[in-house]
Amino acid sequence: MAKGLTKKYGEFIALNGIDFSVQKGESFGFLGPNGAGKSTTMRIIASTLTRTSGDITVLGKDPEVSGPEIRAHLGVVPQQDNLDQALSVSDNLYIYGRYFGLPRKFIRSKIDELLDFAALTDKRDSKVEALSGGMKRRLTIARALISEPKILMLDEPTTGLDPQARHILWDRLFRLKEQGVTLLITTHYMDEAEQLCDRLMVMDKGSIMAEDSPSGLIKKFSTKEVLEVRFGSDRNAQVAEKLKTLCERMELLPDRILLYADDAEKVLDEIHKIGLHPVTSLVRRSSLEDVFLRLTGRTLVE
Amino acid sequence: MSSFTRQGSLKLIDIEKAARRGTLYVMESRLRTMGRFIFSLISSSVLNPFFYLVSLGIGVGTFVNSKAGSAGIDGVKYIVFLAPALLAAVAIQDFMSEVTFPVLQGFKWEKLYFAMNATPLTGRQIALGTYFSSMIRTIGSIVIYFMVLVGFGAVNAKDAWPMALTSLYAAACFGAIMLAAAAAAENDDLFLNLMGRLLIMPLFLFSGTFYPLNSMPAPLRLIGWVSPLWHSTELGRWVSYGHHISPTMIIVHFIYLLLLLVVGLSWAFNRFEYRLSK
């Protein structure tokens, strides 16, 4: 799909020659911190941003040549909801359907279905202004689905939502995935990436750091389990030297020490044996956060 | 609870048809939004001329007529002199507000244009759709204003109707420039301030609106010469009561306004495409 894709803004390189491809029906995620180049990539795919160099085809076409043809089959959910505040919920869906040139009759029946899908049926005639953040987000997604797109693109779909609203949204996206819609998702939440994506591309500073399934990434770049210990921020660095030999790999963070091992309980036992007693300790499974830390030396959400 | 089905929109999306009609889809959406405010749009179209006519036409008019005697101003009663200017002014103002606020909203406040551009719509279609829906609103305003003028006896409908056309022509030409300017404005506060204080007021006051332009000192007449309102008013007076202008000047008025239209639209297309792909 993309080869050597590059975008420069003056001297600043937003995308540094990335290659990737997404299969039909796949749920593909771009994971990385702010400024990694995720949104830039999305906008180039959505054929609303021109690339500096490299090649890309979307649905078999070049976005710079066939923008409108490609966009006719994309559903785009931008980072910031851009709904028409002056119009009602159903009018927002209606006018959007018209932009695709869809017949009025088709749009009307589609609206009922989408309102049901987004759990907004009772808000049908409300003005957009009156909706909560989660409702607006669901409406934006419903709007992107009005044309029954082949690819649904979601830029940070749940940023700024409370946990409950996030789970409702994930559920809806999961259903779409089951129905065979290709999903392209950017996120800086590892739990979101793990929940929704079949395959992930970890990005940082305009480059691809790794690409695999969530479990594949964890297997490749981390151990099965992690032991998190805290000795108090001033002592962490002190004891770190002694802990290094007890595990496969260690990360010293300002507030805690991460010890990577396939059996984290055993490591904790050994720590106690050498006479060290952490203030708190936690055994958990490795996550994408650990993968990211390993790949970039930084945490995802800073 | 939810069923998401494919009802076959893939077949229903006719990209060639959508490409041809994109401008109409944008207009449909704009007019739908205007429809929400139809009451306030119409009432401002009726009340605004009403107050101007009462205060200026009758108030100032009585004073001017009593000073000038039966000759009036420019050979006609003051209200007849004033009517084409007021009509041109309202046309220009309404057109301008419909190509500025929605554009700021589209690019800046609600980013609606970016949502539109995520569909098959192109920047050029969005620009044209905004432009033509402004034109429809302006036609509505002109019709209402004209009827009020007729009701007041300020003009005779049968003779004066061509001034509705000259007003629309000038508003549409200047509107093209304002469409582009609003699309080029990155700083919305600054833009609105400049527009309100440095553009609308001087245009309205120094364009020979309330008295003939040549009764002003030469430097101030310059404002009138660049002002679309003056060109429009001159044409309106010419078509409505036979105000004397030379054939050369008639051509100058038309060409000047046409130039605004051509420059404005091409600048607007450029700005729309640039802002959307940045």
Q: Residue A225: beta bridge partners?
A: A261, A285
A181-191: pLDDT as tens digits: 999 999 888 88
Closest CA to B259 of B195, B170, B155, B191: B170
Which residue type does A15 have?
A: L
Quote the DSSP letter at residue A120.
-
What distance in Å separates residue B113's CA from the closest CA in chain A?
9
- Under the banding of pLDDT at 50, 70 and 90, the label for residue A272 is confident
Task: Quote the pLDDT of residue A122.
Answer: 96
- Under the banding of pLDDT at 50, 70 and 90, the label for residue B4 is low
pLDDT higher than 60, residue A120: yes
Which among A106, A113, A172 has the least Cβ separation from residue B5?
A: A113
pLDDT higher than 60, residue B37: yes
pLDDT higher than 90, residue B236: yes
What are B115's two structure tokens? 């949502």
Closest residue in B to A92 (Cα–Cα): B29
pLDDT higher than 80, residue A195: yes
Class of domain A223-285: alpha beta
Closest CA to A73 of B8, B120, B117: B120
- Under the banding of pLDDT at 50, 70 and 90, the label for residue B14 is confident
Query: How far is B113 from A237, CA to CA, in rounded Å?
Result: 52
CATH 3.40.50.300 domain residues, chain A: 2-210
Domain at A2-210: CATH code: 3.40.50.300
pLDDT higher than 80, residue A11: no
CATH 3.30.70.980 domain residues, chain A: 223-285
Spacing of C-alpha A106 from chain mean position: 32
Cβ contact, residue pair A83, B114, below 8 Å:
no
Mutate to test the interface with B, among A77, A100, A117, A171 (most CBs of B within 10 A): A100
Task: Quote the pLDDT of residue B78.
Answer: 87
A70-95: pLDDT as tens digits: 999 999 999 999 999 989 999 999 99
Which among B17, B33, B116 has the least Cβ separation from residue A86?
A: B33
Task: Quote the pLDDT of residue A70.
Answer: 94
Cβ contact, residue pair B119, A103, below 8 Å:
no
Nearest-10 crossing angle of helices A288-296, A214-221:
50
- Name the 3-class secondary structure at B262: helix
- Under the banding of pLDDT at 50, 70 and 90, the label for residue B1 is very low
For residue B52, how many C-alpha atoms fall within 13 Å in the half-sphere facing its CB? 23
pLDDT higher than 70, residue B3: no
What distance in Å separates residue A151's CA from the closest CA in chain B?
12
Give the ipTM of the model, two decimals please.
0.88
Residues of A in contact with B277 (CB under 8 A): 48-50
Which among B1, B22, B115 has the least Cβ separation from residue A82?
A: B115
Task: Quote the pLDDT of residue A165.
Answer: 84
**B105 vs A5 pLDDT, higher one:** B105
Closest residue in A to B108 (Cα–Cα): A82
B174-195: pLDDT as tens digits: 999 999 999 999 899 999 999 8
A218-242: pLDDT as tens digits: 999 989 899 998 888 778 877 888 7
Which among A73, A83, A110 has the least Cβ separation from residue B7?
A: A110
For chains A and B, what is the number of CB pairs under 8 angstroms? 124
Query: How far is B212 from B233, CA to CA, in rounded Å?
Result: 10
Query: How far is A39 from A176, CA to CA, in rounded Å?
Result: 22
Residues 106-135 of B with CB under 8 A from A: 110-112, 114-122
Residues of A in contact with B24 (CB under 8 A): none
CB within 8 Å of A234: residues ≥ 6 apart: none
pLDDT higher than 80, residue A198: yes
Q: What is the mean pLDDT of chain B?
A: 89
Closest residue in A to B30 (Cα–Cα): A95
Question: Based on the number of CB atoms within 10 Å of its own CB, is A200 exposed (0-12), middle (13-18) or buried (19 or more)?
Answer: buried
Which among B2, B9, B119 has the least Cβ separation from residue A106?
A: B9
Residues 23-42 of B with CB under 8 A from A: 25-26, 28-29, 32-33, 36
* Cβ-count burial B139-176 (b if 16+ within 10 Å, e if not): bbbbebbbebbbebebbeeeebeebbebbbbbbbbbbb
In degrees rounded to 5, what are phi and psi of residue B236?
Answer: -60, -40
Give the CA diameter of chain B.
Answer: 81
Task: Quote the pLDDT of residue B2.
Answer: 44
